[in-house]
Amino acid sequence: MSAPINGTEGYAQEAPELFARYENIPAPEAHRAVLHFIPPAPADLLDIGAGTGRDAAWFAEMGHRVIAVEPVEAMRLGAMKLHPSPGIEWLDDSLPDLTRLRRRGRTFDLVMLTAVWMHLDAAERARAMPYLAALVANPGRIIMTLRHGPVPPGRRMFEVSAEETIALAEREGLRPTPIANRPSIQRENRANGVSWTTLSLVKV
């Protein structure tokens, strides 16, 4: 058996429970702070670490063309079954290198990294940022959420500051703006003190 992709530890084992948990949060509620940044349809959207496909399906329903990157087979196949949509192309690929995706030479109007950046260590984050910047169209934007709080057992996560992310983004010609800081909308995580920072990174 091949080694798991860094960051995906625990996801395959917990997939059934995670489908119930993530799908219970309506996408517009999860992205309340950034609804105004979603471009008019049809646009090219990329969702990295797409999980159960909740957001990819929401974007596709709006009329966007979506590529959903998800390295965990149990999540990806489950998501494809739950949200069958001609508007979504699912791709087995992973951060930091996004090798298969980058081979396509595409750019995207909006790149979403929702609850995924904390799965990379500092070296992986520094490696991934230039690749992410190159995937953004001009004009275009990345929306990223940063997790703060205790790490659940069995997961690989790191505390990531807005300051570090802003410095990495600026180096790649992205203009960062912190959008929101708020407690987790998942009840259990909120009770455990988990909070999130949302950042917008615009290509300039």
Q: Which parts of this chain interact with ligand SAM (CB under 6 A)? A: 5-8, 11, 22, 48-51, 54, 70-72, 75, 94-95, 114-116, 119
The structure tokens listed for 7 are 């960051």
Whether 72 and 15 have beta carbons less than 8 Å apart is answered as: yes
Give the type of residue at 152: P
The structure tokens listed for 1 are 């058996």
CB of 7 to ligand SAM, least distance (A): 3
The structure tokens listed for 125 are 């984050």
Give the type of residue at 7: G
CB of 105 to ligand SAM, least distance (A): 20
Closest CB to ligand SAM among residues 99, 138: 99
CB of 48 to ligand SAM, least distance (A): 6
Closest CB to ligand SAM among residues 119, 204: 119
- Helical packing angle, 73-82 and 11-23, nearest 10°: 30
Pick the closest to residue 45 from 128, 107, 95 (CA basis).
107
CB of 176 to ligand SAM, least distance (A): 20
Closest CB to ligand SAM among residues 138, 192: 192
Closest CB to ligand SAM among residues 44, 121: 121
136 strand-pairing partners: 108
